[in-house]
Amino acid sequence: MHVNCMLCRKPYDINHSDSQYRKLIEKQTKYYICQSCHSKTTKEASAMSEIKPESLDPNGYDKLIT
């Protein structure tokens, strides 16, 4: 599947191994964010808010919800 990152606008080819692939195929979302932009955004948000993402979901339950 060909997609463009909504933040950096770079084109990417993704397949079923990408974590966002299923949501895009099932039309749950139409936006894709590449791993690089995702990491940068997460780090910036953590630095600004002083909240770590792992403290919000320490047991990883969000990964079980599809």
- For residue range 21-34, list pLDDT tens digits in order: 999 999 999 999 99
pTM equals 0.66
Beta-carbon contacts of 21 under 8 Å, excluding residues fewer than 6 positions away, are 1, 14, 15
For the chain, which residues make up each domain, given as ranges?
A: 2-64
* pLDDT for position 55: 73
Q: Could you tell me if 23 and 57 are in contact, meaning their C-beta atoms sit under 8 angstroms apart?
A: no
In the predicted model, residues of the chain with pLDDT beneath 50 are 66
* pLDDT for position 6: 96
